[in-house]
Structure 1
Amino acid sequence: MSSNPAFRPSRRALTRAAVVAAVLPVVALSACSRAGTNTASASAAPSELTFGTQAGPPSLNPAVGDPAYGATYQWAYDPLVVMQPDGTFAPGLAVKFGYVAGSSNKVYEMTLRNGVKFSDGETLDAKAVKTYLDYLRAQKTGSLAPLLANVTTIDATGPMTVRITLKSSDPSLTFNFAQAFGLGNIASPKAVANPSTLDKSTAGAGPYMLDAAQTVSGDHYTFVPNPNYWNKDRQHWKKVTLRVIANPSSMIQSMRSGQVQAALGDPTTLSAAKSAGLNVIAPPQAMSGLNLLDRSGTISKPVGDVRVRQALNYAVDRKAIAKALYGDEALALSQYSLTGQAAYDTALNERYPYDVAKAKQLLAEAGYPNGITLESIDTTVAGLNKLMQAISGQLSAAGVTLKITTKPGVNDYVIGMLSTKYPTAVMGYGLANMASLYAGFINPAGPFNPFHYKDAELDKLYAQYYAADEEQGAALQKQINARLVEQAWSVPVVGAPLSYYTTKGITGLDATSGNSGVPWLTEIRPAG
């Protein structure tokens, strides 16, 4: 929405931010690693935890790295706000937070927790928060700076109070300051003054800190208790090792052998993890399906016709695909929100029942009685090409042929999607609320909208939503969701899970689709 500068950073910055925040929860990043060995075990009351992840961070500095949906930064950096499993927000480093009444979501205030120190001994106060957020705003790389593009000023209004003033209404700061995006991962002002120190060390106010002597970048990262941490009861481990294991099958093997006790899972190994006796936490997290990019009909006239887009939605049996690929037909998705989120509307699930005859009828009404052929692009990462093949097979029954170009990695896929050579593409977009959906999917500058398509009705609804209070905003989110469904901006098929696995003897890992499937990892602890 061009009238809202909150989501109009440079296209390069927005592309990086949105792809990291939206695609990477679905796809397993590629990195070279080895399983290695670990002395921690799954026996009763272990003192050490090894957590498996598919890739290491591009930088340990949260301001220039990619904290969104990642597994690295939470160990050393408590967020300003904690998103709970039910999707509500609780105090983190900030004990009070929210928009000033009557400000139309343009003024946000926080009161910080007393008695908090960073791992380097510096004190957390309003000046420290302002210093870090101003530093973050100035960054040219990383996924977080664009989230503060709408900020006019950040002021320390008292020793422990911070006020953020925005150029235009934006209701998303509380979510952004929580652990999913990691905008609230505040670093010490001493470290900010010499930011190169953050590349190979940590300076947060979380329960642990990096032990560089026991760390090999790209392979494993070792964290030990932060001696200055404000809540000793949350330091559940004497040592936490984050181990990079790129191959999803190798991750399962490492957990079965006791080398890894908890891990970020992969949608392609859900069944294998369950068969291995692991505890699987896998709430729906990302809208996966076929993105109908060329809604204006620039290179593909059929995609520019809403009847054709609706026909494609009727032609896909979502439950069958969800069952075949993910083992659970309940993951079928036909809207732009997940159960437990404000925009979710049960009635929208019935808008496009599987109906091949209806699909053919709409295609004929649009002038395509003999069917259509559409160019498309997908990627082999995390089995998204398998999802595309399933969609393609079902569309063929309605007379729709997908000519698919497959790219092996995320970067090539993104480049192809942005090239405007393809009117359709496979998608995996993390769902949280309508503000985060706008950032990369609806925004004319967003990577999932490369043809810069706009809808006047959506613009109007978003303008109202950004300025609304929580109750009004929830109703407007439902209206936005309904408009997207009716205009058939894409073919949502499954709510792909952001999955986590644990071995026996481990508890505390809790996530639902209501909180975007993102747990507070430092709550992982020995059972009993």
Structure 2
Amino acid sequence: MTELHPSTPTAPSRRTTLRAAAGGTLLLGLGLTGCRSAVAEAEAPATGAAGPKRGGTLTVAVNTDFTPALLFAQSGQSLQHRLIYNTLTRYDDRLEPRPELATSWEYAPDGRALTLKLRTGVVFHDGRPFTADDVVFAVKNLQNPVRAAQLRSTAAAVTGFEKRGDHELTLRLAHPVNNLFDLFEFMIITDRNSVEDAVAGKRLNGTGPFRLASWRPGTGLSLTRNEKYWQPDRPHLDGVELRVIPQADALVSSLRTGQSQLSYAVPGRNLSTVTAVPELSVTQYDTGGGASYLGVNTSVDPLGDKTVRQALAWAVDRERVLSQVLGGYGLASATPWPKSSPAFTEAGRTHYRHDPGKARELLRSAGHTRLDLPLLHVNLPGETALAEAVQYDLKQIGVHVTLEPTDAATAQKRLISQTMPALWAMGHSFSQVQPSTLAVSAYPFNAAKNTSRFRSETYSRTVREAWTSRATGAEANALRQRVTDTLLDEAFIIDLVIRGSVQVASKKLHGATLNKFSYLNLDDAYLAA
């Protein structure tokens, strides 16, 4: 199978004033038969068809159910967010923000204020008009620690709001931050009057292209077309069904038989099966939206010793994980950065290679020849395969791990509450946007409070400098490199493989795209005859 790697777009330039032209976010995709952008995939009409046609219901196969309590946290069940809700802006494939509910924006010269012009004529599903008050609420909502939102630190940097009518808003910042548009891409605009009903799964009232018809726990979500959507003649589809199919064989079967027309949940080892189906297409979207990693709880003896953690980092065969677990889709890497990130370097990617001899030597130097440790993982086929690969490699250096399978919602809650066992194997996000976001937002990496219980004044200071800096060019690269060097040296999170989002879809489906946080966008999607 051909190994697919991300391309490297130009890093965004810093501007005092940002005026955005209308347009949508469409991410670069690589197909098995050659390079093809998601722009082409989204815009190309079906062969012999006049173009997009109205009607039809799309069935999306997912492997985890919607978890209302995690509505404001990035997780594996965030796929449906952009179907029900809009965001303020959305990135293109060069990390340049494009309009959504915000139509234009302007930074103050000192970087401590941003003025947004908001779209008019937008209503929530219940008919209430969208105004600046909804943006104020959205930011304050993410500032609330109860929401467990990864970008809470960035939201908390907003200390003041100045409204000029219903559709202009200035955000005042305590200090400059260079990832404010990451917040805007992440932050769904929810109804301030029914947010508690939303986190209870009773009512999801947004401005997005589809309305919630029903949620059947364990079965999935049913969505219907929003006839009041602010984009003219959108969406084309009449409805969307997100069907929960946790078993890999059953999920693949639903795609092969046409019961489902779209999925991003096919495990890597099953992708070769669907590539042989003529009615299906397989596309890797180069979002760099996730990475497989080995987490290490530094409060568990002897994992507080970074020499032991470095031994684990040298032990894992990343290329085998890429090949056997992910089916060749992705990039073996010791750092969290995809090639599209301005923080990516080849030296960082290859810093740790598969060297069990060196790993055993490091363990011996730390006074250990055998360790027995638990390893938590999500009980899904792809995540189990990852855990088994890590288990095998660690055993070769004398580290014997006992696998502890759990469900996705429980794993996410333990990640947030810092109650992980000694080791865990999961996936993380946030390396696909501004590099500073990872270390101030992602639970495994957060300098202030991370799942590994790793604390370092040096790390915290380095992260804050990288986050608040308005530097560009070589100075910005140097700040990013300091963060990367700390991550590699301390090895409290051991990155293994950068994962792209692999889309398996019926060839009748056109126009499905993902944003940088893997929210599914079906505004322009349609099913050809």
TM category, shorter:
0.7 to 0.9
Q: Secondary structure at the match of 2:230?
A: coil
| Equivalent residues of 1:332, 1:495 under 8 A apart | yes
2:180 to 165, 168, 173: 173
| Aligned residue in 1 for 2:290 | 286
Distance 1:79 1:43, change over 3 A: farther
Equivalent position amino acid for 2:92 in 1: Q
Give the CA deviation at 1:113.
Answer: 1.7
CA distance in 1, matches of 2:398, 2:448: 29
CA distance in 2, matches of 1:490, 1:193: 34
1:124 to 113, 120, 130: 130
Q: Residues 23-172 of structure 1 correspond to what in structure 2 (within 5 A)?
A: 47-48=55-56, 49-59=58-68, 70-97=78-105, 99-103=107-111, 106-134=112-140, 137=143, 140-141=146-147, 143=149, 146=152, 148-172=155-179
Give the CA deviation at 1:75.
Answer: 1.8
Distance 1:80 1:276, change over 3 A: same
CA distance in 2, matches of 1:421, 1:436: 19
Give the CA deviation at 1:226.
Answer: 2.4
Q: Secondary structure at the match of 1:354?
A: coil
| Aligned residue in 1 for 2:29 | none
2:497 to 485, 494, 498: 494
Give the CA deviation at 1:43.
Answer: 12
Q: Residues 430-445 of structure 1 correspond to what in structure 2 (within 5 A)?
A: 430-432=429-431, 433-439=435-441, 440-443=443-446
| Aligned residue in 1 for 2:25 | none
- CA displacement 1:258-308 (0-9 Å, x = unmatched): 2222223243543333244432334543232322221xxx5423x333333
CA distance in 2, matches of 1:347, 1:502: 36
Equivalent position amino acid for 2:400 in 1: L
Distance 1:388 1:285, change over 3 A: same
Identity %: 21
CA distance in 1, matches of 2:217, 2:106: 37
- CA displacement 1:407-460 (0-9 Å, x = unmatched): 3324555677767684333232223333234331233664522x3x22233222
| Aligned residue in 2 for 1:480 | 483
- CA displacement 1:328-362 (0-9 Å, x = unmatched): 17531211212212222122123223223333343
Equivalent position amino acid for 2:405 in 1: K
| Aligned residue in 1 for 2:376 | 378
CA distance in 1, matches of 2:224, 2:414: 42
CA distance in 1, matches of 2:527, 2:237: 9
Equivalent position amino acid for 1:102 in 2: D
The runs of 5 or more residues in structure 1 that have no matched partner are: 1-41
The runs of 5 or more residues in structure 2 that have no matched partner are: 1-46
| Equivalent residues of 1:135, 1:192 under 8 A apart | no
| Equivalent residues of 1:342, 1:478 under 8 A apart | no
Aligned residues: 467
Say yes or no: does 1:407 pair with 2:405.
Answer: yes
CA distance in 2, matches of 1:70, 1:344: 26
CA distance in 2, matches of 1:65, 1:458: 24
Give the CA deviation at 1:54.
Answer: 3.0
Distance 1:124 1:299, change over 3 A: closer
CA distance in 2, matches of 1:329, 1:259: 25
| Equivalent residues of 2:297, 2:420 under 8 A apart | no
Residue range with higher mean Cα deviation, 336-345 or 413-422 = 413-422
Q: Secondary structure at the match of 2:404?
A: strand
- CA displacement 1:108-161 (0-9 Å, x = unmatched): 332112333333333223234334544665583464794634443333234321
Q: Secondary structure at the match of 1:454?
A: coil
| Aligned residue in 2 for 1:234 | 234
CA distance in 2, matches of 1:67, 1:391: 22
* Higher helix fraction (1 or 2): 1
| Aligned residue in 1 for 2:426 | 427
Give the CA deviation at 1:169.
Answer: 4.6
| Aligned residue in 2 for 1:208 | 210
Give the CA deviation at 1:91.
Answer: 0.7
CA distance in 2, matches of 1:466, 1:505: 43
CA distance in 1, matches of 2:414, 2:137: 38
Give the CA deviation at 1:198.
Answer: 9.3
